Structure 1
Amino acid sequence: MPTDAITLNPTDSHHSLTIAPPNGGFCLRGKIQIPGDKSISHRALMLGALASGETIIHGLLLGEDPRSTAHCFRAMGAKISELNTDRVTVQGIGLGQLQEPTDVLDSGNSGTTMRLMLGLLASHPGRFFTVTGDASLRSRPMLRVIKPLQEMGAQIWHRSGGYAPLAVQGQALKPIHYQSPIASAQVKSCILLAGLLTEGKTTVTEPALSRDHSERMLRAFGAEITVDPETCSATVTGSAQLHGQTVIVPGDISSAAFWMVAAAIVPGSDLTIENVGVNPTRTGILEVLQQMEADVTLENEREVAGEPVADVHVRHSQLKACTIAGDVIPRLIDEIPILAVAATCAEGTTVIKDAAELRVKESDRIAVMAAQLIQMGATVTELPDGLEITGKTPLHGAELDSHTDHRIAMSLAIAALIANGQTVIHRAEAAGISYPDFVPTLVRVSG
């Protein structure tokens, strides 16, 4: 591969990523180790901070979002080692012992940090907290967690419309049974974390199952928690005692998704993505790719620290269009941008519905993916709650923008691998939010 086929061009404020397929195109081969699961990394840091004793975390994602979580919990008294190796230690301060910080808690770009942390802050009586984030996070809705917390008795002040910065006066909360209007692991986890410090049983019922990392990890740390898959409900009993654990974080299936799609759509490709978390509440991406007739197989299936793990082997194949909607959406919501890229290579029309949640992520992912793929020549119709994409459509190089959204940046990079001509992706440094080594890995497997 020519040395200039994939280049990252830093500037004073932003980086642009240039991808120019060589004669004969790219061909992706080899084995990939992906970063630790972002959702599990956040929860391991938080529960480690709340537990008594030491928690040791192996394989933590060393991205910007977990750094935001670590920074916030250090400010409230937990001792967390620097996030510069794959072994992180947390000296917990005990449930209910978070200290009132001397400054504003900054969640950076991390919606998980802010939403989950709110449940804990609201349930610490007598302490006052102020929480903010970057410009993107301050434009993302928080009422979805504020309202159920207020039903529990929380005192939370916010900007008009429910936006950060937020001020929280900790209270002794009351347990509730919350019927969530959306299937959201962040909403569910926020309420369950508030329930840890609330006398009695706190229950969340969802319209469909969302990812269950919080339930698994709460149980591992010693909380009393029950799950009813038939009613999509989870219940936590308050006043639990949490104890430090050793946590092994599997590879993030959301990061693996980029390589799954890349290998499926780039001719001649054959990739194995190792140590991927295949929790059933997260495997919608696998089900949809199989529905699209992608050549995807799971190998070396095993369980690591309570989470199912496997190696994912993907080879290039001819994809077929499908409909992505309904109960599968909560299990692949973060993978829809890269599935939109897959859809441009699939025979027929792929319809993505019931995914309005994408409009309030780091960017409006529906509008942004539609606009960027259209720039590359794709046939895309934007729907209120999704996308309609007709393939197989040849893509061409274009000048694109990530809108500082990590999943958009990486999805566009994969699309550029099959485009005719040069593609430039502005603000490509956004990939570092969840995948700091994305570009070096892309260069290595494209060689």
Structure 2
Amino acid sequence: MKYVQINPAKLSGRIVVPSSKSICHRAIICASLSDGTSNIKNINFSEDIEATCGALKNLGVEMQRQKNGLTVKGNFKRPVKNPIINCAQSGSTIRFLIPIAATIDEEVVFTGDGKLAERPLGIYYDIFDNQNIYYKNFEGRLPLTLKGKLKSGEYRVRGDVSSQFITGLLFALSRLDGNSTICVTTELESKPYVDITLDVMEKFGVEIDENAHGEYTVRGGQKYESSDYQVEGDFSQAAFWLVMGALGDGINCCGLKKTSLQGDKIIVDILKRMGVEIKWEAGSITVSSSHGIHGTIVDGSQCPDLIPILAALASVSQGTTEIKNAGRLRIKESDRLKAISSELNKMGGDVIEKEDGLIVTGRQKLMGGRVNSWNDHRIAMALAAVSSKCLNPMIIEGAECVKKSYPDFWKDFMTLGGDIDEWNMGQ
């Protein structure tokens, strides 16, 4: 277990934002489904991305890693190279690859670590029941054994559990011979993630038709085409630095695309609403040291990954912030509503936890002290982001969890002037 002690200090400087984890997953999978060789550039090899690469290798895909990129020789081989697919703690990996594995009609076993074993997969189980596809799990938990052949046709899928199910089906159904339709039966939350999927698939030669009624028409028999793909910077990771810049002495975040489809790009608009001074420049965003940051209303339905950092910022802002429509955060790597409210309150914050959101009343300062990451990368980074507003040092337990999405987070934190000590306390 790793601890970091953060001594209060304002951050400033220039940071190159890591590549988008969401886009990396999708580009690597599309390359793996392609005929030929693809080169994926600007990859941040976090634990989640490593999980997707390892899973695809077990399914027979050949990959060669460079420092910041990947050469992928696509097309799954039969028989499967290794039927044990370890998804570590990556929800994207397991939800994207389950339906793909169901197109090859071989027995595979999906495993995972931590909270992944409990995260819901019921949407897929309903499909397997309807199509008589064999599967077995452990009382609804991983490991999941799967063997069967997915069939083309109409799929009626809820959109308020996770958009990852829609993405997984889009990847898989385009590989089948017949045409299929995905009908989203509820409002589709986190729709920008599906938009990213469609965009990346198009770059690899696969087209999906979408209408205004929440339906996706998937023409069967399409062939993924190999491609060279450059991954853009990640707005969900940039959010931490934008907040630290606003609370510190200003930070310039490089590698961001103004025309990005990433839903978390909305962080820029939310911060502006809260009184943060932000300026777009060529391929980067500069956030200035801002005074008079105030509360706002945040709808978490389309940007759930931003809620921990926005709650943290709200805890040291003027007035009250209401976060609503964020119930899905309870089934992430941790119960993020409970986790962020509990830890901010430990430090003297004023956060009220609701069933599907938070009410945060800002304080001028937090006390600091010892907090827990809940083994959740976004909780650890959100807490670190408000360390400059603490009267005393902050000690974060389980700080190594940032490796899930941002292995160099603590290194970059120190590069920008963060003052930390770290140590291990056994297992």
* TM value normalised by structure 2: 0.91
Q: 1:298 corresponds to which letter in structure 2?
A: W
Tell me which residue corresponds to 1:311.
284
- Number of equivalent positions: 410
The C-alpha deviation readout for 1:25-61, integer Å capped at 9, x for no partner, is x232221102111111111111111100001010012
Aligned equivalent of 2:394:
423
State the distance in 1 between where 2:233 and 2:204 align: 21
Aligned equivalents of 2:271, 2:128: Cα separation in 1: 37
Stretch moving more, 142-151 or 412-421: 142-151
Identity, % of aligned positions: 28
Specify which of 248, 252, 256 is matched with residue 238 of structure 2.
Answer: 256
Higher relative contact order, structure no. (Cα contacts within 8 Å, ≥ 6 residues apart): 2
Cα distance in 1 between the residues matched to 2:171 and 2:120: 19
In structure 2, relative to structure 1, the CA distance for the partners of 1:204 and 1:312 (3 Å cut) is: farther
Q: Residues 273 and 47 from structure 1, CA distance in 2 versus in 1: closer, same or farther, beyond 3 angstroms?
A: same
The DSSP-based 3-state class of the residue aligned with 2:149 is coil
Report the TM-score, using the length of structure 1 for normalisation.
0.87
Aligned partner (choices 228, 248, 256) of residue 276 of structure 1: 256
Q: Is the 8 A contact 1:191 1:204 kept in 2?
A: no
1:374 match: secondary structure: helix
Question: What is the distance in 1 between the residues matched to 2:93 and 2:79?
Answer: 17
Tell me the amino acid that sits aligned with residue 278 of structure 2.
Answer: V
Q: Alignment partner for residue 201 of structure 1, among 158, 180, 200?
A: 180
Question: What SS does the corresponding residue of 1:367 show, helix, strand or coil?
Answer: helix
| Cα deviation code 1:314-333 (max 9, x no counterpart) | 112221211112xxx34321
Question: What's 1:237 paired with?
Answer: 219
**Conserved? CA contact 1:119–1:149, under 8 Å:** no
AA of the residue aligned to 1:121: A
Aligned to 1:345: 316
Q: Unaligned stretches of 5+ in structure 2?
A: 419-427
1:110 is aligned to 2:60: no
Q: Distance in 2 between matches of 1:441 and 1:141?
A: 34
How far is 1:392 from its partner?
3.1
Q: 1:323 aligns with which of 297, 301, 304?
A: 297
Aligned-residue RMSD, C-alpha: 1.9
Equivalent in the alignment of 2:149: 171
Give 1:185's match in structure 2, choosing from 143, 153, 163.
163
- Unaligned 5+ runs, structure 1: 1-13, 301-309
| 1:63 maps to which of 34, 37, 46 | 46
Partner of 1:361: 332
Is 2:46–2:403's contact at 8 Å kept on the other side of the alignment? yes
Which residue is equivalent to 2:422?
A: none
Is the Cα–Cα contact under 8 Å of residues 183 and 330 in structure 1 kept in the other structure?
Answer: no
- 1:120 aligned partner, one-letter code: I
Deviation digits for residues 86-145 of structure 1, max 9, x if unmatched? 121000126xx56424341100010100010011012223x1110010122112222134
1:408 aligns with 2:388: no
Residue aligned with 1:81, SS: strand
Change (3 A) 1:234 1:346: farther
